[in-house]
Amino acid sequence: MVSTTVGVVKEPSPGESRVSLIPEQVSRLKTSGLDVVVESAAGHGAHIADEEYTAAGAAVVAVDELYERADIITRVSALSAADAKRLRDGQLLAGLLEPLRYLDIMRELAANNITTASLDMLPRTLSRAQSMDVLSSQANIAGYKAAVLAADNYGRYFPMLTTAAGTSPPANALILGTGVAGLSAIGTARRLGAVVTAYDVRPESRAEVESLGARFLELETTVAASGTGGYARALTEDERAAQQRELSTRIGKFDVVITTAKVPGKTPPLLVTREALAGMRPGSVVVDLAASDLGGNVAGSEPESTIDIDGVRVIGAGNLPSVMASAASAAYSRNMFAFLSHLIDEGSVAIDLDDEINAGVIITHNRSFVNKIVADAEAA
């Protein structure tokens, strides 16, 4: 029987230091009867040497040989048009492909008979999919790092400290959005000693916030905006405007604000307006986890940049997991291994579109869009 070969590419995106599989999971794939090829230097950003992959049983090869030999290509970030042209008929590509954002590339991959599995489309409410939940594992890291980054950039103490020179009050931190990243930021900011308040449009999030010892921010304009799949629904224009107005009057009371409201493939909601920034004290810090070339939660934030707006330090931090590449790669690799284990049956890829996980994750197959959400977007 011919063995299936998994290929691990070096991420080509600037600033992306993660790798999709680390040696621990490579060894487990080998034990399962799969072959693994790894692009030379693929793990360097996560401090993993080529020799570690070799010791785990992988072959370390040049990029052209990897694409030639691999049946399955694993990666972290969405691929470029140039990357797409490397793929050949019948290969399977797995990663965070952002299909709603890169429909043109998905269309080309479908035409070239490439099967694509986008883990950012995973049905996150399925209990058996939790071990594959890349978005949650990476968001947990992002939330942790956001709180640490805020503390590092804040010019005062986070905890209350009493010294011979007097008492320093604790920082007041506001976390906007209480998904996985927000809850991680709450817990970390609390451990660092800040007084933490959080807000979310989903009313059920109050219990989670309070269970972590934080306060829940009450807005008079709060509406029930729970959506499907564990996400908040999009607010109407009137709801959004009312939310922004009231948040703008409340944000000025906080020393640190961390925003976490991402929308897959779409422009994130604006939560912190210019007026809100103008109302904050000089020296305050705002960390925008949604900052990207699609926009951000904070007016004026720039992806992977720190800028000064009216004396407030605004940090665009849309890819914080890459900053913690070793931890993020280890978590991502466990998720990817769980997905490959689900997808591969007796050493071969088995695409069962009646399976709920596959129905959510598989985007293109047999030259067609098979994911309903993406197919509807492509037809629109």
User: Tokens 């034990």 belong to which residue?
Assistant: 31
Dump pLDDT digits (tens) for 15-28.
Answer: 999 999 999 999 99
Establish whether domains 5-132+325-379 and 140-318 are of one fold: yes
Domain ranges in the chain?
5-132+325-379, 140-318
pLDDT at 265: 80
What is the C-alpha separation between 280 and 256, in angstroms, rounded?
9
User: Which CATH code is given to the segment(s) 5-132+325-379?
Assistant: 3.40.50.720
> Rg of the chain's alpha carbons, rounded to an integer?
22
Q: Is it the case that residue 278 has pLDDT exceeding 80?
A: yes
pTM: 0.93
Based on the number of CB atoms within 10 Å of its own CB, is 51 exposed (0-12), middle (13-18) or buried (19 or more)? exposed
Assign 225 a pLDDT band (cuts: 50, 70, 90). Answer: low
Q: Which has more pLDDT, 37 or 223?
A: 37
Assign 2 a pLDDT band (cuts: 50, 70, 90). Answer: low
Q: Is it the case that residue 317 has pLDDT exceeding 90?
A: yes
Dump pLDDT digits (tens) for 101-133.
Answer: 999 999 999 999 999 999 999 998 899 999 999
pLDDT at 319: 96
Dump pLDDT digits (tens) for 140-170.
Answer: 999 999 999 999 999 999 999 998 888 999 9
What is the C-alpha separation between 132 and 339, in angstroms, rounded?
6
Residues catalogued as catalytic: 124, 130, 133, 136, 231
Instruction: Give yes or no for a contact between 332 and 43, defined as CB atoms under 8 angstroms apart.
Output: no
pLDDT at 221: 66
What is the C-alpha separation between 338 and 259, in angstroms, rounded?
30
140-318 homologous superfamily: NAD(P)-binding Rossmann-like Domain (3.40.50.720)
Sign of CA dihedral 115, 380, 101, 148: negative
pLDDT at 124: 85
- Rounded to 5°, the CA angle 29-34-7 comes to 85
> 3-class DSSP state for residue 203?
coil
Sign of CA dihedral 218, 222, 228, 232: negative
What is the C-alpha separation between 269 and 271, in angstroms, rounded?
6
Which string of DSSP letters, residue by residue, matches 49-79? -HHHHHHTTPEEE-HHHHHHH-SEEE-SSPP
Q: Is it the case that residue 187 has pLDDT exceeding 60?
A: yes
